[in-house]
Amino acid sequence: VRLFADVYSTVQDPFLRRALVLAEKGRGTTAPNPLVGCVMVRDGRIVGEGFHAYAGGPHAEVCALSDARDAARGAVAYVTMEPCSHYGRTPPCTAALIEAGVSEVVAGMADPTRDAGGGAQQLREAGIVFSFAQNPEPFEVLNRGWLHRVTTGRPFVTVKVGTSIDGKIALAPGSRSSMTGPHGTVVTSELRRRSDAVVVGGSTAACDDPRLTVRDAEGAAATIQPTRVVLAGGAMPLQTCALFTDGSAPTLVLAAAGTDVDVPGLIDVIRYPGEEGLLGALRVLGDAGFNDVLIEPGAKLFASLWNEDLIDSLVTVTGGGIAGSCAQSLYPRAYDSEVAALSRRMQAVDASIVGDVSVTVWGRSSS
């Protein structure tokens, strides 16, 4: 399923475009690190390729250098982000590029972090020709979650809601009801695959008993699963719910400091300062290294996210049924008490049809 416009195809340089495709292979496993891809080119021909596959593993440049072996000497390295210049869990990529004898480096975008940044200067000082791509935007889109976390301290938040044609999220308040059918599940699975963590409210976990896993069209679970997060509140699921017992993905509970939560001993409970509300909860997820977070809210959590302006991208999946006026609305409150909510607007940025459902992606309004 393709839910988002293909910004990578706007990149003119075929080697930088290839580096973006390689970087994408790490999606879902590199957090807290960014996605990075690298291509080594000699005499106009690709002689080595690599991408960063998981945090703690070799960086893209090092993978591409070892793929190219001796052909790296005198080659041009095309990399989606400025090579790092610091000792983190692995040695600096700038040192590896200098030692391998590459003649030129072209990077998609600058590294904004203080620790790892400065690679361009180091390479130039070593006599390597260095330049940035003319338009950094596609490279920023690749890493929008990581960029958001390192610049604001909280993850990029994508919110997904599944509704009927008349905008209802459940047939009755508090009931489990799929508004979007099997094709809606395919879209949800794709959004989860692109995320480091999937968050639900305690009451949704209690009444829906969801698995929150990435599954294929036949229902088989993927090998790599995002972390499942239950936002503890008034209602909480039973200790026997699937999230706490099926062991199919890492699972944790996010609870305000000082509150009681009744969860099995094996489930981690992460605390956030309750007075900071949802923003505090998201900051704690940022501190834990989650770059991209998908939230699948019910009405109450959706209203909080909307009112606190915490939605960076909203994906509405609309199924073809009508649920009627007794069903649960996406936004639960009375018209005249929510003037601020009604004045906030998002703008549609992408739309597609997946099987029998319609998918609209909304971004922050530019006006």
Ligand X SMILES: NC(=O)c1ccc[n+]([C@@H]2O[C@H](COP(=O)([O-])OP(=O)(O)OC[C@H]3O[C@@H](n4cnc5c(N)ncnc54)[C@H](OP(=O)(O)O)[C@@H]3O)[C@@H](O)[C@H]2O)c1
Catalytic residue IDs:
61
**Site residues for ligand X, window 205-224 (CB under 6 A)?**
207-208
User: 344-350 long-range CB contacts below 8 Å, 24 or more apart?
Assistant: 344/306, 344/309, 346/311, 346/314, 349/5, 350/3, 350/4, 350/5
Q: List phi, psi (to 5°) of 310.
A: -105, 5
Q: Among residues 208 and 312, whose Cβ is nearest to ligand X?
A: 208
Residue type at position 180: T
Q: Residues 322, 282: contact at Cβ < 8 Å?
A: no
Q: Could you say whether residue 203 binds ligand X (CB under 6 A)?
A: yes
Cα gap 73→50, rounded to integer Å: 16
Minimum CB separation from ligand X for residue 248, in Å? Answer: 19
The reply on whether position 158 binds ligand X by CB under 6 A is no
Dist CA 117 CA 85 (whole Å): 6
Per the document, the length of the chain is 367
Q: Starting at the earlier edge strand, list the strands of the sheet with 346-354.
A: 268-272, 251-256, 227-231, 197-201, 292-295, 156-163, 313-318, 357-364, 346-354
**Interface pick for ligand X out of 76, 328, 357, 359 (rule CB under 6 A):** 328
- Give me the residue label for tokens 């480091």: 196
Scanning 28-36, 146-154, 195-203, 212-220 for contacts with ligand X by CB under 6 A, the matching segment is 195-203
Smallest gap from residue 175 Cβ to ligand X (A): 5
C-beta of 55 vs 235, nearer to ligand X: 235
Beta strands in the chain (DSSP E): 37-42, 45-51, 76-81, 104-109, 129-132, 156-163, 168-170, 197-201, 227-231, 251-256, 268-272, 292-295, 313-318, 328-329, 346-354, 357-364
Please say which residue, 131 or 239, places its beta carbon nearer to ligand X.
Answer: 239
> Considering beta carbons, is residue 149 or 168 the nearer one to ligand X?
168
The yes or no reply on residue 333 touching ligand X (CB under 6 A) is: no
Print the binding letters for residues 161-180 with ligand X: x by CB under 6 A, - otherwise. Answer: xx------xx---xxx--x-
Q: What would the x/- binding string for ligand X be over residues 222 to 251, using CB under 6 A?
A: ---------x-xxx----------------
- Smallest separation, CB 289 to ligand X (Å): 21
**Least spacing, CB of residue 257 vs ligand X, in Å:** 12
> What region does 217 belong to: left with phi over 0, alpha with psi -120 to 50, or beta?
alpha
3-state helix, strand, coil in the chain (%, to 5): 30, 25, 45
Do residues 61 and 50 lie in contact, with contact meaning Cβ atoms separated by under 8 Å? Answer: yes
Stretch that binds ligand X, among 56-64, 103-111, 199-207, 355-363 (CB under 6 A): 199-207
Cβ 166 to ligand X shortest distance, Å: 13
Nearer to ligand X, 12 or 175 (CB): 175
CA 312, distance to chain mean position in Å, is 11
Select 143 or 158, whichever has its Cβ closest to ligand X.
158
Residue 321 as a binder of ligand X (CB under 6 A): the answer is: no
Q: For the CB of residue 357, give the shortest distance to ligand X in the complex, in Å.
A: 12
CA atoms within 13 A on the CB side of 134: 4
Residue with tokens 């996210």: 305
Segment lying near ligand X (by CB under 6 A), choices 32-40, 62-70, 189-197, 202-210 = 202-210
* Token pair in block for residue 312: 């960076």
Site string for ligand X, 261-300 (x = CB under 6 A): ----------------xx-----------------xxxxx
Q: Total residues contacting ligand X (rule CB under 6 A)? A: 29
Measured in whole angstroms, how far is the alpha carbon of residue 308 from the centre of its chain? 20
Residues of this chain, 81-110, that bind ligand X according to CB under 6 A: none
Q: Which spans of this chain sit near ligand X (rule: CB under 6 A)?
A: 161-162, 169-170, 174-176, 179, 200-204, 207-208, 231, 233-235, 277-278, 296-301, 304, 328
